């Protein structure tokens, strides 16, 4: 360790300024044995053991750039993927652990790429079974990596643009400024197929298969037996004529359907174009982000386009639509600052990653910190065990799928300098005047209209009001009711208090840390004071930051110009570096924004994430974040769940009806073939019902949302770490902050002065 910085350490932090901020550890060439950073970067655990904390149906998508930067390796793995029975259709694992396409894809070398298959992992095989790993090598052409670097520079410049834009106009735009209105959506703006989340839908063919079709039975009538007479000849002729008429009617219906689909598509496209144009006129940064995403698709989309990997992703998407499979990204540090959740091959499949992390060992270490007993057991050589997937080979016991953070052990810091007082009065007054003028436009004069409150799109709560209000309301099961911490309306939280709050969470019991307020969180807590801190008790960290007021932005600029804020501090305040520092401090799962946010988006994020964690559903953190960042909000997430279930039930019913009809019609019903009285009416009614079902499906496929989140809001929050963390315990009274309840558990070293 003292001879030089370990490569994995440099790869995790990958920044000279960050290396310096690890203090004595960096000065000595790396973290000392027994330190928190040493535990974070520990690679001594067997490789196969690193996948054991994953839920049975989850998959890790690993993206690794080669040292020469001439190719990118992509690998899809799950729990038990490195076992000798990996990919066996009945290897003792959960059936969902065996994607059939992935199992077939890895039986030989990847087509279209240099041989790179699951066989490369045979040296690490263990005594557990699971999904077959899929490995794909994508070669980069000349100048390809230079374009990736240019894309990263463009994204960095865009982050500065969106920061200035939202600081200046975020409150003026209101909550509607974070959404497309009138039919547009991110998927439509990027040209994705419509409604991928609701698939599998019921296509016309499936609907018709569920109907006893006289056409199919009349198309090929049996030849009349010899000597059957004129009656049989007449019946055969009538059947042939009926088949011809039915075929013509079917062709006419198909032509009408094609024209109807084209009209729906054209109408939807026109509405989307109009909505996008209106949104981009007022929000140029959104348009720029979508352009950057299109460039990212062109550069990195083909990495996930190899046939074996595409087949495995298709299987995972099907599992995901059935509320089963989740995706975790393990990404090379050179790609971590890209919004890979927006990558086309994932987006078009409706695969929204629930989490990302720096490496498999770091991901596994996060769970090990929460369960030392499991940590000790997982260090045994898994090749000596014989347990099934999902069990600990050292003990044979079932592995838990989640680490619990007791709600009563969560601590917070809210608006440390009290810089957020809600929307400026001028914005609210302007919004009220606009609403009054809009009312006058429909018939009444402004003098006749009563005074109106500002529109809900512009009104919002400050960070402190959000904490003391909706997040603490006992009637809504507000989790913040039992949190302990410091609010800026009481005093400025000193560095000693920050450190005491993070260190004070008991490691054995677990807990969490929440920050609500303007600016990056590390603009309030110096990075040097977080580096090397032991915060392993914080299994859950939620940073609702990166929204600025004019005052908070001016304060940081003044600190930078006066020398009070060092240049390297600004580098360490960036999103990836912030997540790395909290990870090096031992925090379990970190939710953070990737770029600047609006206060409206941050308020919605905090409310919806904790409603999912502490509400009736008691969701795991990854699912709660996915629900909170759904395009149509939490309600849309639930509607998607219902649509998936209804579509799956409809497909199953159609298939069952078709099979039943096939059995009944196997012998060929002569009376039905010649249009027996009653049979034709039944078929006509069934055909009409099928046509109505097809029309409903078409209309649903082209239905436009009234409101859909913009990409800069929907894909901003990400989760580093375990997606399976749960929030335990109930609500109580807010402790600390604003003089309400008890003070923080540890006294600060030196109180800050109230601003």
| Segment among 106-120, 628-642, 741-755 with least mean pLDDT | 106-120
pLDDT score recorded for residue 99:
39
Does 208 have pLDDT greater than 90? no
What are the start-end ranges of the E strands in 653-740? 707-709, 717-720, 726-728
Q: What is the DSSP letter of 398?
A: B
- Positions of E strands within 49-98: 59-65, 71-78
Q: How confident is the model at residue 290, as a pLDDT?
A: 93
- Sign of the CA dihedral running 359, 361, 367, 370: negative
Angle (CA) 299-301-307 rounded to 5° is 130
Confidence label for 233 from pLDDT (cuts 50, 70 and 90)? confident
CA distance 466 to 228: 86
pLDDT at 432 over 80: no
User: Quick check: 518 pLDDT over 60?
Assistant: yes
Instruction: Give the pLDDT mean for 436-461.
Output: 59
**339-391 pLDDT per residue, tens:** 999 999 999 998 999 999 998 889 888 887 766 666 776 666 544 333 433 45
pLDDT at position 508 is: 81
State mean pLDDT over 80-108.
45
> Other CB atoms closer than 10 Å to residue 204's CB: what's the count?
18
Q: What are the C-alpha distances in Å from 164 to residues 290, 552, 594, 597, 717? A: 18, 12, 15, 11, 19
| pLDDT surpassing 70 at residue 663 | no
Q: How far is CA 653 from CA 169, 199, 200, 314, 363, in A?
A: 51, 16, 13, 23, 41
668 burial (CB, 10 Å; 0-12 / 13-18 / 19+) is exposed
What is the Cα–Cα distance from 97 to 517, expressed in whole angstroms? 41
Report whether 128 contacts 80 (CB < 8 A): yes
Q: Terminus-to-terminus CA distance in the chain, angstroms?
A: 45
Residues 6+ apart with CB under 8 A from 217: 665, 668, 669, 672, 673
Tens digits of per-residue pLDDT, 476-488?
Answer: 568 988 899 999 9
Tell me how far apart the alpha carbons of residues 346 and 317 are, in angstroms, rounded to a whole number: 9
Instruction: Name residue, tokens 């769970």.
Output: 367
Q: Given pLDDT bands bounded at 50, 70 and 90, which one contains residue 591?
A: very high
What is the b/e burial string over 86-109, where b = at least 16 CB atoms within 10 angstroms of the residue's CB?
Answer: bbbeebbbbebbbbebbbebbeee
Strand blocks (E) in 243-302: none
This prediction has a pTM of 0.75
In this structure, the strands spanning 410-414 and 484-487 are parallel
Residue of 320 and 705 predicted with greater confidence: 320
Do 560 and 570 contact (CB within 8 A), yes or no? yes
More confident residue, 595 or 238: 595
Ranges of each domain in the chain: 47-144+296-384, 203-271+633-704, 404-421+463-631+709-728, 424-440+447-461
For residue 713 the two structure tokens come to 């809001």
Q: Select from 356, 369, 328, 377 the least CA-distant residue to 45.
A: 377
φ and ψ at residue 416, rounded to 5 degrees: -55, -30
**pLDDT at res. 507:** 83
CB burial readout 12-35, b (16+ within 10 A) else e: bbbbebbbebbeebbeeebbeeeb
Q: Between 519 and 183, whose confidence is greater?
A: 519
Region 732-742 average pLDDT:
37
pLDDT single digits (tens) 290-335? 999 999 999 999 999 988 999 999 988 888 877 667 899 999 999 9
Report which secondary-structure segment, H or E, holds 328.
strand 327-331
CATH class of the 404-421+463-631+709-728 domain in this structure = alpha beta
| Structure token digits, residue 266 | 């054209």
Question: Residue 422: what are its φ and ψ, rounded to 5°?
Answer: 95, -175
Mean pLDDT lowest among 12-16, 489-493, 549-553, 605-609? 12-16
Distance CA 491, CA 743 (A): 11
Distance CA 52, CA 399 (A): 8
The per-residue pLDDT for 86 is 56
Strands 538-544 and 511-516: parallel
- Angle, helix 144-173 to helix 425-440, in steps of 10 degrees: 70
Please say whether the beta carbons of 287 and 74 come within 8 A: no
The top-scoring range by mean pLDDT among 93-107, 117-131, 258-272 is 258-272
Among 18-22, 196-200, 218-222, 635-639, the range of highest mean pLDDT: 635-639
State the residue for tokens 């990118």.
72
Exposure class string for 147-163: b at 16+ Cβ within 10 A, else e: ebeebbeebeebbeebb
* Predicted pLDDT of residue 380: 60
Q: Provide CB contacts within 8 A for 736, sequence distance 6+.
A: 484, 485, 486, 487, 490, 742, 743, 744
> Once rounded to an integer, what is the mean pLDDT over residues 485-499?
93
**Residue 114 in this model has a pLDDT that exceeds 60:** no
Length of the chain: 755
**396: part of which helix (H) or strand (E)?**
none
The rounded percent of the chain whose pLDDT value lies above 90 is: 35
Query: pLDDT averaged over the chain?
Result: 73
Structure confidence at residue 654 (pLDDT): 57
Whole-number Å distance between alpha carbons of 631 and 2:
49
What burial class does residue 715 get, using C-beta atoms within 10 Å of its C-beta: 0-12 exposed, 13-18 middle, 19+ buried? buried
């Amino acid at each position: 360790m003292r001879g030089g910085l370990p490569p994995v350490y440099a790869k995790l932090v990958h920044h000279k300024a960050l290396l310096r901020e690890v203090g004595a550890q960096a000065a000595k060439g790396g973290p000392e044995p027994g330190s928190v950073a040493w535990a974070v970067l520990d690679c001594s655990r067997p490789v196969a053991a690193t996948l054991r904390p994953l839920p049975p149906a989850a998959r890790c998508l690993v993206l690794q750039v080669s040292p020469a930067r001439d190719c990118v390796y992509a690998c899809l793995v799950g729990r038990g993927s490195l076992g000798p029975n990996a990919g066996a259709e009945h290897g003792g694992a959960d059936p969902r652990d065996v994607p059939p396409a992935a199992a077939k894809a890895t039986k030989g070398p990847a087509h279209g790429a240099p041989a790179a298959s699951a066989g490369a992992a045979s040296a690490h095989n263990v005594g557990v079974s699971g999904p077959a790993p899929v490995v794909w090598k994508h070669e980069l052409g000349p100048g390809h990596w230079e374009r990736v670097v240019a894309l990263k520079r463009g994204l960095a410049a865009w982050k500065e643009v969106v920061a200035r834009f939202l600081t200046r106009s975020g409150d003026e735009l209101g909550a509607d400024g974070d959404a497309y209105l009138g039919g547009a959506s991110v998927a439509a703006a990027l040209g994705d197929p419509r409604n991928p989340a609701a698939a599998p839908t019921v296509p016309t063919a499936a609907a018709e298969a569920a109907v006893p079709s006289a056409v199919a039975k009349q198309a090929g009538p049996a030849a009349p037996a010899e000597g059957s007479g004129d009656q049989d000849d007449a019946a055969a002729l009538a059947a042939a004529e009926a088949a011809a008429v039915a075929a013509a009617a079917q062709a006419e219906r198909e032509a009408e359907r094609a024209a109807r689909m084209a009209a729906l598509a054209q109408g939807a496209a026109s509405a989307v174009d109009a909505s996008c144009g209106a949104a981009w006129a007022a929000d140029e940064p959104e348009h720029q982000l979508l352009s950057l995403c299109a460039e990212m698709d062109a550069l990195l989309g083909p990495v996930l386009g190899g046939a074996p990997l595409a087949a495995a992703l298709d299987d995972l998407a099907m599992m995901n639509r059935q509320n089963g499979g989740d995706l975790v990204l393990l990404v090379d540090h050179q790609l971590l600052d890209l919004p890979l959740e927006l990558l086309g091959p994932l987006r078009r499949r409706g695969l929204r990653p629930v989490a990302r992390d720096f490496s498999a060992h770091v991901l596994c270490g996060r769970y090990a910190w929460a369960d030392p007993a499991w940590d000790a057991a997982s260090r045994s050589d898994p090749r000596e065990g014989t347990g099934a997937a999902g069990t600990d080979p050292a003990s044979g016991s079932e592995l838990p799928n989640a680490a619990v953070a007791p709600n009563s052990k969560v601590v917070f810091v809210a608006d440390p300098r009290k810089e957020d007082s809600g929307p400026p009065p001028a914005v609210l007054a302007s919004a009220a005047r606009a609403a009054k003028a809009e009312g006058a436009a429909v018939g009444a004069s402004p003098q006749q209209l009563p005074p109106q409150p500002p529109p809900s799109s512009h009104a919002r709560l400050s960070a402190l009001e959000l904490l003391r209000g909706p997040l603490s309301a006992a009637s809504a099961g507000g989790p913040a009711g039992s949190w302990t911490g410091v609010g800026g309306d009481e005093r400025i939280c000193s560095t000693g208090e920050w450190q005491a709050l993070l260190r004070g969470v008991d490691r054995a019991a677990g807990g969490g840390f929440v920050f609500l307020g303007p600016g990056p969180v590390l603009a309030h807590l110096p990075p040097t004071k977080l580096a090397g801190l032991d915060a392993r008790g914080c299994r859950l960290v939620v940073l609702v930051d990166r929204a600025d007021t004019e005052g908070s932005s001016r304060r940081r600029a003044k600190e930078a110009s006066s020398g009070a804020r060092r240049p390297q501090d600004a580098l360490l305040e960036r999103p990836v570096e912030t997540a790395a520092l909290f990870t090096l401090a031992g925090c379990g799962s970190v939710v953070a924004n990737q770029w600047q946010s609006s206060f409206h988006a941050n308020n919605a994020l905090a409310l919806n994430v904790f409603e999912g964690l502490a509400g009736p559903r008691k969701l795991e953190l990854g699912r709660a974040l996915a629900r909170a960042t759904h395009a149509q909000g939490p309600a849309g997430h639930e509607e998607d769940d219902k649509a998936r279930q209804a579509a799956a039930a409809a497909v199953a019913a159609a298939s069952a009806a078709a099979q039943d009809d096939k059995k009944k019609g196997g012998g060929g019903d002569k009376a039905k073939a010649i249009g027996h009285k009653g049979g034709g009416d039944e078929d006509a009614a069934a055909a009409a019902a099928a046509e109505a079902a097809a029309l409903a499906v078409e209309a649903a496929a082209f239905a436009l949302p009234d409101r859909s989140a913009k990409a800069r809001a929907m894909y901003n929050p990400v989760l580093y770490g375990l997606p399976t963390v749960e929030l335990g315990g109930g609500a109580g009274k807010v402790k600390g902050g604003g003089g309400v309840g008890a003070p923080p558990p540890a006294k600060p070293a030196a109180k800050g002065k109230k601003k």
